[in-house]
Amino acid sequence: MPQPGLDALFNPRSVAIIGATEDPTRIGGRPLRYLKESGFEGRIWPVNPRRARVQGIEARPDVTQVPGAIDVAIVAVPASGTLETIEACAERGVGAAVVFTSGFAETDADGAARQRRMGEIARASGMRILGPNCLGVYNAAIGFFATFTTTLDIYRPRPGPVAIVSQSGAYGSHLGLLARRRRIDVGLWVTTGNECDVTVSECIAWMAARSEIDVVAAYAEGVRDGDALLASLDAARAGGKSVFFTKTGRSKVGAEAARSHTAALAGADVVFDAVLVQHGIVRTDTTEEMLDAAYAASFGALPSGRRVGFMTISGGAGVMMADEAATQGLDVAPMPEAAQKRLKEKISFCTPRNPVDVTAQVFNAPHLVGEFLDAMLDEGDYAAVVIFFTYVASVEFMAKPTLDALARARERFPHRPILMSMVGSDEAVAPYEALSVPVFEDPVRAVRAVSALVRVAEGLAPVSGADADRDGNADAAAYPRGARRSGARFGTEPTEGPRAARSVHPPGNRCPGGRLDEHEAQRLLASWGVPAVETRIARNAGEAARAARAIGTPVAMKVLSPDIDHKTEAGTVALGIAAEDAADEHDALVARARAYDPNAEIRGTIVSPMVNGVECILGARRDPVFGPVVMVGSGGVLAEVIDDVAFRKAPIDHAEAKRMIAGIKGARMLEGARGRPRCDIDALASAVAALSRFAAAHAEVVDSVDVNPFVVLPEGEGGLALDALIIERSAA
């Protein structure tokens, strides 16, 4: 049956606590105490077979004897009795259950089996189950605290625009506590534990639909359903929410198919990173980074671009902020010359460029704070401004003019982020935060927070329609003269969306085991829009010589074999061969191939023109979580050494392919570094988009695809695949 949403879990009007205890410090006693102390207005029913009252509230012996509807049941009973309790709750018609109890899939096979049964009960009954092995949930706005975290003894959360969702209970509790210490108001908080039913993804989607939530901070150790996660992230993006995601496991490389460059480069974490970028989500690496970003975003203002200004009373701090901004890819553009001249007239020894150093002279003339800030906002046209005033900003004689200046700036520029780096007590910081000015003690952390806000804004920005879609069949620019575009016996790309392919093989394929050789792989990919160099197959030395003369020398030659995947490593590639040497080279290549793999099927050699340009690698593979993904990166034999690649979930359009290309270090070579001609980036993007459509259509049958190298020619001349490898899942 379709599963209901999470309203009962997050917004209950009645709560039963099964295993409620009189001792308010025990796991079964804490949620009852928290509900009482927080003023929860719904009905509370402790369930305890040995007590008529628990913590002063009337109790019932079991859940079946609780009158009226039960939105949430908190389950705090031993593992041995948990399934029986869950079944009773389902029969009773409970809306949702929060299962604190551990001892399930995290322990052993028996525990995993009992957890599967718990999930089956949820799906069969429609009762949503959070956990097991979780720390619970709270909604501060209604005083609902279904959790036993001891952090609530230190700080009680206040309603606010930030939500936290975490698979880990202890880490989620840690985040909630640190957020409160950072003056971040977390209105919604949930830990999903073992996720027999309710997942991190579903919680993000529910939070994204809440008007009172502006920021979601998420933590996960693993994701089983990539499509569900992406749907939740898209919902958050559509709702204009800032999402910051921390996922552990960067060092764990996903399963690799050793014969594929793409697979070797596509560690699971690399793909996860790329998918977050593709869906406009900012990935954070540390607790500090996540909370700094969430804190800054909670004030609501996002930059309109990467141009950032810095105002400081310390030249050293200004340099430090500028250095970090450059590291983060921000634009530390100088103030206009006319504005610099006017600022110099106010303080002759200031540094008015950017960072703008107002020096200690502002102590003698505090009104200059406002004049300098106005100049930066009006004339510098900075998308965000960071002010470094250290402890001076908390001293009364400087705090008032600084706050007055910020108040005027806020009134005139309400949507432009202004951040303060200062040292002061909570009381000193509060007036700044009241003006929607986030405060950081460390100026470098303030700059990193600006970077996070910039990435959020870029992720939320709508895709431009101008470039956005040439992703039908690849345009003619991708096909240089002499390129092979399609082969009749392979079929062509469908015109209405990806087709679900059962096989990549053409009819009558002679390949033992159904494998394609390089020539066939290139023809198939060309039919989908990945242009390939013109090639001729030579079955013997005489045919090789004739092919070389027909093409015109010099030529490239390589062994044609479905059993030798990487020809360079096998020594079966020869470049710059003259026509008179082609026959001998054919025999030498075949001999080297037989020495490399005596059992390999050798079908001859491939003869093709020499092609000069910038080498890239294109690839695709089926990720176990997110399905088909496409790759582009710096290519040639150094593809794995450089490790300069970008991934996206397939399929993508031409515009997204261009964004991928812009994200690799090799983009500088494509753009014409060191006086080289600019390359045909549009042709490369068309090929990447085409390969992504092939990968999406063949997700069930293809494990990985390599196009290495794909040579990008000068602008307007296209690009060509010089080699191709397709590995089917059955053959991997």
Q: Say whether both 590 and 618 belong to one domain.
A: no
pLDDT tens-digit series, residues 66-81: 999 999 999 999 999 9
Q: What is the CATH number of the domain that holds 722?
A: 3.30.470.20
**In angstroms, rounded to a whole number, what is the distance separating the alpha carbons of residues 704 and 730?**
11
Please indicate, yes or no, if residue 593 is contained in any of the structural domains.
yes
- Domain end residue (candidates: 592, 609, 626): 609
In a shared domain, residues 508 and 572: yes
Residue 636's pLDDT band, with cuts at 50, 70 and 90, is low
User: For position 360, which CATH number holds?
Assistant: 3.40.50.261
Whether residue 666 lies inside any domain: the answer is yes
Number of domains in the chain: 3
**Per-residue model confidence as pLDDT tens digits over 335-354:** 999 999 999 999 999 999 99
Is residue 271 situated within a structural domain? Answer: no
Which CATH number is 538's domain given? 3.30.1490.20
- The angle that helices 396-412 and 368-378 make with each other, rounded to 10 degrees, is 30
- Has residue 516 been placed in a domain? yes
- Evaluate whether 607 touches 578 at the Cβ level (below 8 Å): no
Please tell me the least confidently modeled range out of 271-275, 486-490, 520-524, 645-649: 486-490
Q: Are residues 429 and 316 in the same domain?
A: yes
Residue type, position 144, single letter: F
Q: Are residues 427 and 564 in the same domain?
A: no
Who wins on pLDDT, 286 or 492? 286
pLDDT at residue 46 tops 80: yes
**Predicted confidence (pLDDT) per residue in 438-451, tens digit:** 999 999 999 999 99
Residues 6 or more apart in contact with residue 186 via CB below 8 angstroms: 140, 157, 160, 162, 163, 164, 176, 179, 180
Task: Band the pLDDT of 638: cuts 50, 70, 90.
Answer: low
Mean pLDDT along residues 21-34? 97
Residues 638, 725: one domain? yes
Amino acid 643: pLDDT: 75
351 within a domain of the structure (yes/no):
yes
Residue 220 forms part of a structural domain:
no
User: Is 113 part of a structural domain of the chain?
Assistant: no
pLDDT of residue 509 exceeding 60, the answer is no
The pair of three-digit structure tokens given for residue 604, joined into one six-digit string: 């001859």
Output the pLDDT for position 510.
36
Q: Do 628 and 501 sit in the same domain of this protein?
A: no
pLDDT digits (tens, 9 = 90+) for 446-480: 999 999 999 999 999 875 443 444 444 434 444 45
Q: Are residues 489 and 432 both part of a single domain? A: no
| pLDDT for 642 beyond 70 | no
Say yes or no: 626 and 537 in one domain: no
Whether omega for the bond prior to residue 709 falls within 30 degrees of 0, making it cis, is yes
Per-residue pLDDT, averaged over 121-126, amounts to 97
Of 587, 609, 631, which marks where a domain is finished?
609
pLDDT for 640: 61
Q: Are residues 492 and 430 in the same domain?
A: no
Residues 590 and 650 in one domain: no
Query: Do both 344 and 399 map to the same domain?
Result: yes
- The distance in angstroms from the start CA to the end CA of the chain is 37
- Whether the pLDDT of residue 602 is over 50: the answer is yes
The answer to the question of residue 19 being in a domain is: no
Could you read off the pLDDT of 647-690 as tens digits, one per residue? 999 999 999 999 999 999 889 889 987 778 999 999 999 999 99
Same domain, 319 and 454: yes
- The pLDDT score that the predictor gives to residue 259 is 38
| pLDDT above 50 (res 566) | yes
Angstrom distance (rounded) from CA 660 to CA 578: 38
Q: Is the pLDDT of residue 567 over 90?
A: no
- Check whether 486 has a pLDDT greater than 70: no
Residue 690: give the domain boundaries.
614-731
Mean pLDDT of 575-593: 96
128-130 sheet: strands from edge to edge: 43-47, 14-18, 72-75, 96-99, 128-130
Among the candidates 430, 460, 490, a domain finishes at: 460
Q: Is the pLDDT of residue 646 over 80?
A: yes
Output the CA torsion sign for 560, 563, 566, 571: negative
The answer to whether residues 390 and 429 touch, using CB atoms and an 8 Å cutoff, is no
Question: What's the whole-model pTM score?
Answer: 0.87
So what's the pLDDT on residue 434? 97
User: Mean pLDDT in the chain?
Assistant: 89
